[in-house]
Structure 1
């Protein structure tokens, strides 16, 4: 496997900052969850198309049946991750929703162990547990266990499992095909899936206010093309576990933004939780085994 020109941690950091804006934009868009998800993916396809058809279209011929199947499954998982997460934001707070969505290590550690036989050190498990505890603490003040908030929390938790599955399938396929081709295939499958979802649900394709169209476009550019696409690039060189733990930074950024945009107040437990998350991440990053395995070589 070739050594990347940019250290994978740099795109991962940019990606985390980008996806932190997602929940805010979703809440500002005046449309149903399926509609927001569809246009987010649709505009991403439109923006990527010129580059893909100019330079990467020929790569489709090299895709194996396994690549098509895995990429398609990843696209479906991504579509329903967006639907469930966006819907959760209608029932619970930004802080609670993003915390639950970013609890990916719980699923990623298990998935990479069973599917890729990746070894998990005691230090990795400990760092993940610390970060997860910090994530829970961030939203402890407004984390409710009844009524509509509980429903929103469950939707966010299921969407967390789906995005982890999406990354796991991508980790396998990205070893064989380029970032642009993989992303284009996955986003296209996701867009088609969301299109039929909207038809079945009877959700409207328009019209919408100009501001909502703007949020649709920004969701495509920032969280998708800067966020998820950078994660797709990095997953070729690092384990899904690395990305999943790094994404735990998302609730911190989202909670801060929600405070300024929606007046969702930050309390002492949320601040303390943010500090604990960062400590857990630092504990994970300095794990010598993870650094050694950062640039995986072909057997």
Structure 2
């Protein structure tokens, strides 16, 4: 693959800043979490699909069927990621939710070991154990009434953790597929499949699909353009040029950015167990990502 015209490190900074706004926009919305996720993905798809056709009209016809199937499966993982993570924000703090959903480097490391037969170093093992300890501290502290923020922090944390597992599947698939799958066709397939899955979930849940005021549609649009287009799409571009471990460790900036925005915009102060557990989790993720980079 040829060298990119844009420095991937600059692109990662833009992407992390963009995704850091996601939790705040979701919290600002009064729509059901699954509806917000649906319209975010639909609007993003409507933006990238025409660009894919205009940029290379024959790109879709050149895709191998197995790659299209793999990209579709990635779309399912993305849909579950959004559905569980968006819902978690209704039950736990922004800081806890975003930190747990960004535990995905741990699951990337485990997935690479289990599925790609990559060696697990002592550093990777230590990082995983450290991050798991942080998750236990955060969740056990809130279970025992340690000042967690949210209606049901333990439930919200569990949803965010599932979202982290699905994000790891998304990154692992992207690392492989983006080496041979052009960016715009890839994200079009992934986003379109995710949108269909979320639509089925929204309809099955009995939520209205379109009956929302202009304020909500503005928030859906901001979610699509900011975290969707400049966040996820730029991250997918970066996966074609840099190691997944670098992308994963770059996302460590999201919990910090989201927590600061939650403090400034929502006046949400994380509880003590969230702060302590979050620091331990971030340390564990950092050790894991550093170890992955050293053996890649």
Q: Tell me which interval the TM-score lies in, with the shorter structure as reference length.
A: 0.7 to 0.9
Structure 1 residues 93 and 190: CA distance shift in structure 2, 3 A: same
Q: Equivalents in 1 of 2:162, 2:282: separation in Å?
A: 24
DSSP 3-state at the match of 2:111? helix
1:71/1:173 contact within 8 Å kept: yes
Number of equivalences: 291
In 1, are the aligned partners of 2:99 and 2:278 still within 8 Å (CA)? no
**Structure-2 separation of matches of 1:149 and 1:194:** 24
Partners of 2:13 and 2:136 in 1: how far apart? 21
Partner in structure 2 of residue 5 of structure 1: 5
Query: In 2, are the aligned partners of 1:141 and 1:267 still within 8 Å (CA)?
Result: no
Q: Which residue of 2 aligns with 1:245?
A: 249
Cα deviation 1:189-227 (Å, max 9, x = unaligned): 111111222221121123222221111001001111111
Q: 1:150 & 1:271 partners in 2: Cα distance? A: 15
**In the alignment, which of 254, 259, 267 is matched to residue 263 of structure 1?**
267
Which of 187, 211, 215 is 2:215 aligned to? 211
Decide whether the 8 Å contact of 2:248 with 2:289 is kept in 1. no
Contact 1:249–1:278 (8 Å) recurs in 2: no
Spell out the pairing of 1:47-66 with structure 2 (5 A cutoff): 47-66=47-66
Task: Report if aligned partners of 1:35, 1:205 keep a CA contact under 8 Å in 2.
Answer: yes
Contact 1:70–1:170, Cα closer than 8 Å, also in 2: no
2:31 and 2:271 map into 1 onto residues whose CA distance is 30
1:168 paired residue among 154, 168, 172: 172
> Whole-Å Cα distance in 1 between the matches of residues 116 and 242 of structure 2?
13
CA distance in 1, matches of 2:167, 2:3: 26
Relative to the length of structure 2, the TM-score reads 0.85
Is 2:17 aligned against 1:17? yes
Would you say the 8 A contact 2:105–2:289 is kept in 1? Answer: no
**Residue pair 1:131, 1:248 contacting (<8 A) in 2 also:** no
Q: Distance in 2 between matches of 1:267 and 1:155?
A: 18
Alignment map for 1:227-246 (pairs within 5 Å): 227-246=231-250
Alignment of 1:1-299 (within 5 A): 1-126=1-126, 143-144=142-143, 148-266=152-270, 290=293, 293=296
Quote how far apart the aligned CAs of 1:46 are: 1.6
The structure-2 alpha-carbon separation of the partners of 1:6 and 1:269, relative to structure 1 and needing over 3 Å to count, comes to farther
Tell me by how many angstroms 1:89 deviates. 0.9
- 1:270–1:256 distance in 2 versus 1, CA, 3 Å: farther
Question: Quick one: distance in 2 between partners of 1:93 and 1:160?
Answer: 16
Please report the RMSD computed on the Cα atoms of aligned residues, expressed in angstroms: 2.9
What's the CA shift for 1:290? 2.5
Q: Which moved more, 1:143-152 or 1:274-283?
A: 274-283
In structure 1, what is the Cα distance between the partners aligned to 2:177 and 2:96?
32
Q: Tell me the distance in 1 between the aligned counterparts of 2:83 and 2:43.
A: 16
Q: In structure 2, how many angstroms separate the alpha carbons of the residues matched to 1:198 and 1:256?
A: 31
- Where 1:58 maps in the other structure, the secondary structure is coil
SS of the residue corresponding to residue 59 of structure 2 reads helix
Q: How far apart are 1:51 and its partner, in Å?
A: 1.4
TM-score, normalised to structure 1's length?
Answer: 0.84
Query: Distance between the aligned counterparts of 1:236 and 1:201, measured in 2?
Result: 36
Displacement, 1:74?
0.4
Unaligned runs of 5+ in 1: 294-299
